[in-house]
Structure 1
Amino acid sequence: MSTLEDLVVNVNDAFWTYLLVPLVAVAGLYFTLRSRGAQLRLLPDMLRVFTDKSARGVSPFGAFTISAAARIGTGNVAGVATAITLGGPGAVFWMWMMALIGGASAFVESVLAQLYKARGKEPGTFRGGPAYYMERGLGKRWLGVLFAVLITLTFGFVLTAVQSNTIAVAVQGSLDGVDAGWFPPALGVLLAVLLGLAVFFGVKRLAAVTTALVPAMACLYLLLGTVIVVLNADMVPGMLADIVGGAFGFREIAGGAVGTAILQGVRRGMFSNEAGMGSAPNAAAAADTSHPVKQGLVQTFGVYFDTLVVCTMTAFVVLSANPTLGERGGADVTQSAFAGTLGAWGGHALTVIVFMLAFSSMIGNYYYGESNIEFITRSGRVMTGYRAAVLACVALGAIGSVPLVWSLGDITMGAMALVNLLSILPLSVIAFRLLADYQAQRRTGLDPVFTADRIPGLRGVECWEPAGRPADAANADAANAAEEPPPLATDR
């Protein structure tokens, strides 16, 4: 196992160091310059969109609260701890930078997901995501299929194993002294059975219960974390100094070299806020809004809330406990910090929170894969095989080593981000024209409303036809887009 683990970890480090980190930075900076810093400049508009009354379905604020609860998960609890123990406090600074620059990538991908979304099976519902804007915007179905395969591998299999692994680590931390030989496999089988009841056999009540509890668990995590930070308020100035100093090598400590800090900050930042990865657009496409840019603004604000608020709070909690640096840690490090300030009950409370957040994420991960498999094929046999493979990953994730499981997650997540970022770079010109249209309407005092005829030459757009235009005409354009890419896709 050690040989396989070392190989995966080394491949992962090289992949991110020489390819992903430069691409994430260049793409984010390019989007920032082309939009004139829209992710920062339009912060007042992000807050204004929350009061938008034009949506017939879920309101923008309602969509934000749902997505915020969904974002608070293992990336915030275990991912931040991993970044700090491997990259030192300086990794937190680079997580912040990842959020500020990555906010532009999140804006572009979410605007495109809204533009190229499709109507759902139920009236007033929508579906979409990168696979759809790759097919309809770029006219490359094969690229959409490739992305659908990658997101299925990443979320359906690997990140589901990450969630299972995180639950196992947290539960073992609470049950001090439990036999590490039989307990992880038994827990993995139990988690697989529970997930199977929710997704394989159609027991929807279990999924409904976990979904209902997630917002409460997220709020409880924020509340307990805030209490810990307040109780250790005198340490905050020193922690901030360590974060900034470690980011630039001014305070060299074990595992805290600048390169490692940047690498861990970007990786764990993307895992947590998902900016540019291509997963959030699947949810963004489902929103009902009057202009695609509005949902782009909502998703950008979600990136800031996740990283600048929740991850920062977790970082202060972890740093207050003076964790051992240079050795990989995860949920157990955050758990120890909770117990150190609040007492043993704090560690147990975090175990319950992690269990609910991670299990709910496993259900969500499964549906990410299911929806993208349906983009490729409607075969019942393929879907049955997918479900069985997901349950196997849940069981295996509980017994896998932490470095191996997280490194596999990084590789598949990075492959997703690679395909998505390379796809939205040429399509971003359309997103910026949508942004210009939004701002032009705002300058005249209007509540921006978009129809496809406002940008001549658009093709592959199904849900934004002008009033009175037959829906089948829009659908015909969507079908034609698969054969011919839109002129704007290569317009510079």
Structure 2
Amino acid sequence: MEAIVNGINSILWNYVLIYGLLGVGIFFTIRLGALQFLHFGEMIRVLTSSKSTDKRGITPFQALTVSLASRVGTGNLAGVAVALTLGGPGAIFWMWIVALVGMATAYSESTLAQLYKVTSSNGRFRGGPAFYMANALNAPWAGVIFSICLIVSFGLVFVAVQSNSIAEAFEGAFGLNKLIAGLALAAAAAVVIFGGIRTIARFAEIVVPLMAGLYLLLACVVVVLNLPQVPAMLWSIVAGAFGLQEAAGGVTGGVMAAALNGIKRGLFSNEAGMGSAPNIAAVATPAPHHPSSQGLVQAFGCFVDTILVATATALLILLSGAIEPDGATGMRLTQDAAAVHLGEIGRHFIAIAIVFFGFTSILGNYSYAENAMTFLKLEGKVPIYVLRLGCLAMVVWGAVQAVSTVFNFADAAMGVMATINLVAIVLLSGTVYKLTVDYFTQRRQNLEPRFVASKFPEFDKGVDHSVWTEEAYAETQRD
């Protein structure tokens, strides 16, 4: 079975998805007129002016922080280190490229999730790729497969991976027993998870900006302390990407190694096209009251994850000179780099950072799984409690076990759901284009963009008109 799964992963991640995710990002960048570059300021404006109080959903800022909680995890600390070890400094350049084109993909899938969201039996907004597959493409079978893969990979296995990284970091920095770390982590997660998605959102909007801000502050301090080395480091990133200089010692260099490792790590990190972030994007009440506004917010999340947080790790490592032949890699390399700059306190800082990054990733990943349960009509108390207990059990299990084998199964599940999602959003690209034109046409007329479904009869199929009416808009404006 493991050989079969590894074979599936080899095909999906080395051929189908690495080109599919990048190709779809380029496709939407061109079709939407380089929206992520020309309208970057609009992303900031939408995020900072969101004041919706509709109790059926969470705020756009909360949706952003929950999606960042899932995106910004161990991959930003350990994954970047692996990319540098295998691909050299040039890998970072290709991570940037993937993130920049991926912003268009992130915008598109979250815009669709907003358009096709529904009001669940408990009066809350729910939506995501499974919903637009079923409602817009009349392919409920695809939604079922997608939801099952999402629950297995994000709701169960990936939380074990995060807890494993946290336990290892604390054991290395403080000598804490892994089982104790796992139990403490599960207990802390239970307090938030049993409060549901709204509790997760309130927790994330406080913790995520704080943890990301502190980590970026550390990177800024390191850059200032090593300012004379910065120009040479930036040149090594560009030169390594195009083979203009020999790779650093100990790095399996070359243009192809830099491109492949940078692209893979970038795709894993920002999750654009995976179909994960749209699950929480659909839960938000958009402000302005238009599907595209939440798409813009999530595109900005893709930028924060890779261009800011992942780059911070790259700067930390490259300015330390800690990459050595047959030396440390992954989380150990990131900790060694921090120790070069700040002494042992740097190693401890990274251990604490991974707790916050990993813990919030567990919460974000769980929120996606709970949303998928709604699509499968399993939103009753018993199924949700089973999911929550299963998630917490995997937190404890992941802390004490080697998770490489089960992680391969999660990779396969995530690969399947990403492939289905990419096909769906390309088929619905015309809808994304019309929504984008409508949004920016209103903006050019100095109007607050507002989407009313009755004005777009071509969207009748699968759109919940109770969400997109003048009355629904008025509801979002009430205190």
TM-score (norm 2): 0.85
Alignment deviations for residues 368-412 of structure 1 (CA, whole Å, 9 cap, x no partner) = 212212321336665454344433432332244475566555433
Relative to 1, partners in 2 of residues 1:25 and 1:357: Cα closer, same or farther, differing over 3 Å? closer
Do 1:255 and 1:326's aligned partners in 2 also have CA atoms closer than 8 Å? no
Relative to 1, partners in 2 of residues 1:404 and 1:85: Cα closer, same or farther, differing over 3 Å? farther
1:216 aligned residue (210, 218, 229): 210
The alpha-carbon deviation at position 211 of structure 1 amounts to: 7.0
The alpha-carbon deviation at position 151 of structure 1 amounts to: 0.9
Alignment deviations for residues 206-255 of structure 1 (CA, whole Å, 9 cap, x no partner) = 99778744433232222222212221222222222222222233434532
Counterpart CA distance in 2 for 1:120 and 1:296 is 21
Relative to 1, partners in 2 of residues 1:328 and 1:407: Cα closer, same or farther, differing over 3 Å? farther
Counterpart CA distance in 1 for 2:140 and 2:79 is 34
Counterpart CA distance in 2 for 1:338 and 1:155 is 29
2:475 aligned residue: none
Do 1:8 and 1:404's aligned partners in 2 also have CA atoms closer than 8 Å? no
Task: Give matches, 1:297-446, under 5 Å.
Answer: 297-322=296-321, 323-324=323-324, 329-378=329-378, 382-401=383-402, 404=405, 407-446=408-447
Relative to 1, partners in 2 of residues 1:385 and 1:402: Cα closer, same or farther, differing over 3 Å? closer
Alignment deviations for residues 56-95 of structure 1 (CA, whole Å, 9 cap, x no partner) = 3566556546655664332322221222223222221111
2:455 aligned residue: 454
2:476 aligned residue: none
Letter of the 1:460 partner, please give it. Answer: G
Do 2:292 and 2:436's aligned partners in 1 also have CA atoms closer than 8 Å? yes
Structure 1 window deviating more from structure 2 (82-91 vs 21-30): it is: 82-91
The two structures, once aligned, show a CA RMSD in angstroms of 3.3
Counterpart CA distance in 2 for 1:28 and 1:188 is 38
Counterpart CA distance in 1 for 2:89 and 2:255 is 10
Counterpart CA distance in 2 for 1:110 and 1:238 is 38
2:470 aligned residue: 467
The alpha-carbon deviation at position 432 of structure 1 amounts to: 0.5
Aligned residue for 2:257, secondary structure, equals helix
Structure 1 window deviating more from structure 2 (255-264 vs 416-425): it is: 255-264
Do 2:159 and 2:391's aligned partners in 1 also have CA atoms closer than 8 Å? yes
1:473 aligned residue: none
Identity %: 42
The alpha-carbon deviation at position 38 of structure 1 amounts to: 1.6
Relative to 1, partners in 2 of residues 1:412 and 1:324: Cα closer, same or farther, differing over 3 Å? farther
Relative to 1, partners in 2 of residues 1:427 and 1:326: Cα closer, same or farther, differing over 3 Å? farther
The alpha-carbon deviation at position 189 of structure 1 amounts to: 4.4
Structure 1 window deviating more from structure 2 (193-202 vs 130-139): it is: 193-202
Task: Give matches, 1:94-113, under 5 Å.
Answer: 94-113=94-113
Counterpart CA distance in 1 for 2:121 and 2:263 is 37
Counterpart CA distance in 2 for 1:208 and 1:467 is 28
Counterpart CA distance in 2 for 1:84 and 1:314 is 10
Do 2:70 and 2:363's aligned partners in 1 also have CA atoms closer than 8 Å? no
Alignment deviations for residues 87-126 of structure 1 (CA, whole Å, 9 cap, x no partner) = 2222211111111111111111011011011125666x52
Counterpart CA distance in 2 for 1:223 and 1:419 is 38
Alignment deviations for residues 10-29 of structure 1 (CA, whole Å, 9 cap, x no partner) = 75344311111111122112
The alpha-carbon deviation at position 194 of structure 1 amounts to: 4.4
Counterpart CA distance in 1 for 2:291 and 2:200 is 34
1:21 aligned residue: 18
Do 2:280 and 2:368's aligned partners in 1 also have CA atoms closer than 8 Å? no
Letter of the 1:18 partner, please give it. Answer: Y
Relative to 1, partners in 2 of residues 1:142 and 1:59: Cα closer, same or farther, differing over 3 Å? closer
Counterpart CA distance in 2 for 1:188 and 1:159 is 14
1:266 aligned residue (258, 263, 278): 263
Relative to 1, partners in 2 of residues 1:398 and 1:116: Cα closer, same or farther, differing over 3 Å? same
Do 1:71 and 1:272's aligned partners in 2 also have CA atoms closer than 8 Å? yes
1:47 aligned residue: 44
Relative to 1, partners in 2 of residues 1:421 and 1:358: Cα closer, same or farther, differing over 3 Å? same
Structure 1 window deviating more from structure 2 (432-441 vs 258-267): it is: 258-267
- Structure 2 unmatched runs, 5+: 473-479
Do 1:60 and 1:295's aligned partners in 2 also have CA atoms closer than 8 Å? yes
Counterpart CA distance in 2 for 1:121 and 1:369 is 17
Aligned residue for 1:368, secondary structure, equals helix
Task: Give matches, 1:105-254, under 5 Å.
Answer: 105-120=105-120, 125-175=124-174, 183-196=177-190, 198-199=192-193, 212-250=206-244, 251-252=246-247, 254=251
Letter of the 2:283 partner, please give it. Answer: A
TM-score (norm 1): 0.83
Counterpart CA distance in 1 for 2:138 and 2:210 is 42
Letter of the 1:150 partner, please give it. Answer: C
- Structure 1 unmatched runs, 5+: 470-492
Relative to 1, partners in 2 of residues 1:51 and 1:170: Cα closer, same or farther, differing over 3 Å? closer
Do 1:110 and 1:280's aligned partners in 2 also have CA atoms closer than 8 Å? yes
Letter of the 1:40 partner, please give it. Answer: F
Counterpart CA distance in 2 for 1:405 and 1:249 is 36
Letter of the 1:435 partner, please give it. Answer: T
Do 1:95 and 1:265's aligned partners in 2 also have CA atoms closer than 8 Å? yes
Counterpart CA distance in 1 for 2:381 and 2:448 is 45
Relative to 1, partners in 2 of residues 1:184 and 1:8: Cα closer, same or farther, differing over 3 Å? farther
The alpha-carbon deviation at position 146 of structure 1 amounts to: 0.9
Counterpart CA distance in 1 for 2:261 and 2:408 is 11
Counterpart CA distance in 2 for 1:138 and 1:90 is 40
